[in-house]
Amino acid sequence: MKLSQENLQYLAPGTIVPTYPRNQLKTRIVHLGFGAFHRAHQAVYADQLAAQFGSDWGFCEVNLMGGEQQITDLNAQDRLYSVAEMAPEGWSSRVVGVVRRAIHGEIDGINTVLEAMAEPDIAIVSITITEKGYCHQPSTGKLEENHPGILHDIAHPQSPKSAPGVIVEALRLRRERQLPAFTVMSCDNMPDNGHVTRNVILGLAKLQSEELAQWIEDHVSFPSTMVDRIVPAVTPETLDKITQQLGGVHDSVGVACEPFRQWVIEDNFVNGRPEWEKVGVELVQEVLPFEEMKLRMLNGSHSFLAYLGYLAGYAHINDCMHDDNYVAAAYHLMLNEQAPTLRTQGVDLVAYADSLIERYRNTALKHRTWQIAMDGSQKLPQRMLDSVRYHLKHNSNFDCLALGIAGWMRYVSGTDEQGYPIEVSDPLLAQLQALVSASQDGPERVNALLSLDLVFGNELPKNQKFVDCITQAYIHLISYGARQSVAKLVQGFSSPFSLH
């Protein structure tokens, strides 16, 4: 039996289901990127608003490339799906009903997507397309003008392929039809994500039409957000468990996540917004301090554990938490190397670090180190390298950060410590493989990877202290392996990282 409006009556007792009239929802938000995180985060808040406060804000869900089956399955389930919260003491489930429409750029055609975004009721276009979907330079936050998708969209603006291209063309249609602009809201893990989004949208628009670019600059807002919820990749085992939770009803689009969630939004909307504050969302004037706190303390420690955990043979983050040295290293990284770089005020960072360690210990969360390790070239700048720049400027130690960066270099070299190939997933994979194959393992490998200016920029590779620290950490990984390197790092916290 499949999940559907008719089959809601057969769900297990205790499952939260939509009690609001779904047909009275208006399609007011188009969301690009119907992935697991969006399903477990933004859409849940909208579902709560509809259920508890009668909100009529509904979603049109869009996948531009990939995820065809998700859209097909969602439509087959009357646009319903479930979210299971995984706590060590047990799981709980809710069915989300705020999706009014679901379309795919390749199945339904890009014109269908553009027309949906040009509907008069659309007030917000939100996006979860991961860092690589922005077609930007991670080291600068600016548009990558030579990106294949961007080159295509410059040449063929009315049949775009990239997410920035789709947004620019939809805004052109609204301007042409004298419709109000929409707000573009990024919900991806990037510092100042609204500013990055603005950079790429205006950057592309200027390459197409100065007049359109000026209209966008005058009429569109790009609020920054901070989003937080651990959502492991969905596996067949996850779907089986969700079916059990739903009392035997199968949900092909179901997702499982941790109980914790947080959302901080810059309150800057040009065409209205839901009353998110009624369901716990923090609406603030400046999001960046919150973003930096989360990106560096949570995501930075996650990446550290992902690379060094994977190399040590730990398949999941909670497996790393069984190793006291990995716990100590992650804790030290958060409080001694990331926290000093932050601008947050009134936040107990020690309590925040404690809460993160507890979340990582959640045995019900099978969050794969391999999943977190994906797309590292896009993640390193904001998760680790910005903090390194702070320490270089202030002449302070960054031993954990150095080992984490060296761990990424060891990981993208493509072979684990047992000699088995690593399935590296990264948008710069071809460049990484070329640099690796053309360099000997050791200092030469480090220098080769540091030449990747899209990741490291121009200044860091010229800083001898930075190069020396990363090289030492990398040699340590070659000599001792990840597990022993982390242990030695923990033992030497009172003195600078060294080979001895």
Asked if the model's pLDDT at residue 496 lies above 50, the reply is no
Identify the band that residue 345 occupies on the pLDDT scale cut at 50, 70 and 90. Answer: confident
CB within 8 A of 345, min separation 6: which ones?
289
Do residues 134 and 254 both lie within one domain? Answer: yes
Number of independent structural domains in the chain: 2
Contact (Cβ atoms closer than 8 angstroms) between residue 98 and residue 24:
no
Check residue 335 and give its pLDDT: 97
CB within 8 A of 1, min separation 6: which ones?
7, 10, 248, 249, 250
* Residue 202, in any domain of the structure: yes
Give the domain CATH number at 300.
1.10.1040.10
* Residue 497, in any domain of the structure: no
> What average pLDDT does the segment 22-39 reach?
97
408-423 tens-digit pLDDT:
999 999 999 989 999 9
* Residue 193, in any domain of the structure: yes
> What average pLDDT does the segment 181-195 reach?
95
Do residues 297 and 271 both lie within one domain? Answer: no
Which structure tokens are listed for 276? 């998110």
Asked if the model's pLDDT at residue 424 lies above 70, the reply is yes
Give the domain CATH number at 271.
3.40.50.720
> What average pLDDT does the segment 445-470 reach?
96
Give the Cα separation of 467 and 464 in Å (integer). Answer: 5
Asked if the model's pLDDT at residue 56 lies above 50, the reply is yes
Do residues 66 and 172 both lie within one domain? Answer: yes
349-406 tens-digit pLDDT:
999 999 999 999 999 988 999 999 999 999 999 999 999 999 999 999 999 999 999 9
Asked if the model's pLDDT at residue 492 lies above 90, the reply is no
Residue that terminates a domain, selected from 284, 316, 349: 284
Query: What is the average pLDDT value for the chain, to the nearest integer?
Result: 95
Check residue 293 and give its pLDDT: 96
Do residues 257 and 292 both lie within one domain? Answer: no
Residue that terminates a domain, selected from 250, 266, 284: 284
Check residue 494 and give its pLDDT: 58
Half-sphere exposure for 118 (CA within 13 Å, toward CB): 18
* Residue 1, in any domain of the structure: no
Do residues 257 and 379 both lie within one domain? Answer: no
* Residue 500, in any domain of the structure: no
Token pair 């997410």 is found at 163
Do residues 99 and 57 both lie within one domain? Answer: yes
Identify the band that residue 498 occupies on the pLDDT scale cut at 50, 70 and 90. Answer: very low
* Residue 496, in any domain of the structure: no
Handedness of CA 482, 487, 493, 499 (dihedral sign): negative
Check residue 344 and give its pLDDT: 87
> What are the distances in angstroms from CA 113 to CA 22, 32, 36, 122, 198?
22, 10, 20, 12, 21
Do residues 268 and 294 both lie within one domain? Answer: no
117-171 tens-digit pLDDT:
999 999 999 999 999 999 999 888 899 999 999 999 999 999 999 999 999 999 9
Do residues 44 and 181 both lie within one domain? Answer: yes
Kindly report the pTM of this predicted structure.
0.89
* Residue 479, in any domain of the structure: yes
> What average pLDDT does the segment 417-445 reach?
96
Do residues 207 and 321 both lie within one domain? Answer: no
Contact (Cβ atoms closer than 8 angstroms) between residue 326 and residue 403:
no
- The region that residue 78 occupies, defined by phi over 0 for left and psi between -120 and 50 for alpha, beta otherwise, is left
271-307 tens-digit pLDDT:
999 999 999 999 999 999 999 999 999 999 999 999 9
How crowded is residue 225: how many other Cβ atoms within 10 Å of its Cβ?
21
CB within 8 A of 202, min separation 6: which ones?
213, 216, 217
Cα 307-65-200 angle, rounded to 5 deg? 75
* Residue 358, in any domain of the structure: yes
> What average pLDDT does the segment 314-329 reach?
97
Do residues 218 and 296 both lie within one domain? Answer: no
Residue that terminates a domain, selected from 249, 284, 319: 284
Asked if the model's pLDDT at residue 317 lies above 60, the reply is yes
> What average pLDDT does the segment 340-354 reach?
93
Do residues 155 and 255 both lie within one domain? Answer: yes
Range of the domain at 428: 288-491
Contact (Cβ atoms closer than 8 angstroms) between residue 31 and residue 59:
yes
Do residues 395 and 278 both lie within one domain? Answer: no
